[in-house]
Amino acid sequence: MKDKDNILDIEELKTYFPIKTGLLRKTVGFLKAVDGVTFSIKRGQTFGLVGESGCGKSTVARTITRLERATAGRIIFNDLDVLEADKEQILRFRKKVSLIFQDPYSSLNPRMTVGNIIGEPVKTHKIASGINLYEKVADTLTKVGLSPEYINRYPHEFSGGQRQRISIARALALNPELVICDEPVSALDVSIQAQILNLLKDIQAEFNLTLLFIAHDLAVVQFFCDVVAVMYLGRIVEQAESDLLYKKPLHPYTEALMSAIPQIDPSLRKKRTILKGEVPSIVNPPGGCPFHPRCLYAKEKCSQIAPALELKEDGHMVACHYPLSL
């Protein structure tokens, strides 16, 4: 059942990494980084994926772009089955889907000039060459708020915020339909973070882009995204429109995550629910609901049966046997 409005459909996606040990590198188990994730992104939407370190949010992004091999599931981009696609189809797919990474220091080649960094994908995909290529790069630089004079400079000459603008320019150069932003602002200072978030918003409106926005900061995701999915130990535990998620979190983990954010305005502070313990090891996740050892409301059923992600109301989905405020 393919919805025409959807640009990306992910069905039961699983990405497992083998755990090897001993001299013969025998596989003794699997690290289930992504364990059955399903979601769809509508054209023009900003979809947020939020969770703590190690929850599998970056692996989702890497699997979508085939930088990691999926173990099972389906990824449908427009009409293309990404996991079944041949080399040529993937090349065309990569032209329409670009990535922005977290660390603007390690994601730009220090030996390439800004012009080459932005121009290389344009050349590879044969969009422009020669003087047209130069114009394309200069034009893209202007769009992200950098002067075309910078075209022959190297990444080390720029500040963190400026480098992130270069990364955005590289992502935009191919006129993509979907941009996957993996923690695009978490390495930046707050004043610069706001500039980059504003820039992404402007660009999205101008080019009618669809964004998959991955971050650990729920406040940033909630501000920036239309729809937010919360991940915990490789699964989506809750998904809703962003203001609905804020006003009425249904999953105890979302509630705890939200209450843990330090707030400046005392009126915005929620009653703090401090989680006990730490995120369990993903190599050996707890049985039943993966969140139950830390959950304040866990009952017997929670340690035995893993809840499935179910639709509750107004597109609000939650994977919990005893959702809050219902």
- Can you tell me whether residue 75 is helix, strand or coil? strand
Interhelix angle for 130-143 vs 114-124, to 10°? 120
Please tell me whether residue 198 binds other proteins under the rule CB under 8 A.
yes
Distance CA 194, CA 182 (A): 16
- Can you tell me whether residue 165 is helix, strand or coil? helix
Which residues are 215's β-sheet partners?
Answer: 50
Burial classification of residue 198, based on how many CB atoms lie within 10 Å of its CB (0-12 exposed, 13-18 middle, 19 or more buried): exposed
Residue with tokens 């720029």: 158
| In the complex, minimum distance from the CB of residue 247 to other proteins, in angstroms, rounded to a whole number | 7
| In the complex, minimum distance from the CB of residue 46 to other proteins, in angstroms, rounded to a whole number | 12
Burial classification of residue 232, based on how many CB atoms lie within 10 Å of its CB (0-12 exposed, 13-18 middle, 19 or more buried): buried
Tokens of 326: 């219902």
Closer of 83 and 261 to other proteins (Cβ): 261
Closer of 38 and 164 to other proteins (Cβ): 164
Please tell me whether residue 192 binds other proteins under the rule CB under 8 A.
yes
Contacts with other proteins by CB under 8 A: the residue count is: 43
User: Of 17, 30, 246, 297, which one interacts with other proteins (CB under 8 A)?
Assistant: 246
Distance CA 200, CA 183 (A): 13
Closer of 22 and 266 to other proteins (Cβ): 266
Using the contact rule CB under 8 A, the part of the chain among 1-9, 73-81, 253-261, 314-322 near other proteins is 253-261
| In the complex, minimum distance from the CB of residue 225 to other proteins, in angstroms, rounded to a whole number | 11
Distance CA 293, CA 201 (A): 39
Residues between 28 and 47 that touch other proteins (CB under 8 A): none
8-state DSSP, 271 = P
| In the complex, minimum distance from the CB of residue 274 to other proteins, in angstroms, rounded to a whole number | 6
Residues between 98 and 157 that touch other proteins (CB under 8 A): none
Q: Show Cβ contacts of residue 278 under 8 Å, excluding neighbours closer than 6 positions.
A: none
Please tell me whether residue 220 binds other proteins under the rule CB under 8 A.
yes
Please tell me whether residue 282 binds other proteins under the rule CB under 8 A.
no
Stated as kind and residue range, the H or E segment containing 71 is none
Which residues are 16's β-sheet partners?
Answer: 32
| In the complex, minimum distance from the CB of residue 159 to other proteins, in angstroms, rounded to a whole number | 5
Closer of 247 and 301 to other proteins (Cβ): 247
Please tell me whether residue 77 binds other proteins under the rule CB under 8 A.
no
| In the complex, minimum distance from the CB of residue 261 to other proteins, in angstroms, rounded to a whole number | 6
8-state DSSP, 315 = T
**Footprint on this chain of other proteins (rule: CB under 8 A):** 52-53, 159, 161-162, 189-195, 197-198, 201, 216-220, 222-224, 243, 246-247, 256-258, 260-266, 268-269, 272, 274-275, 278-279
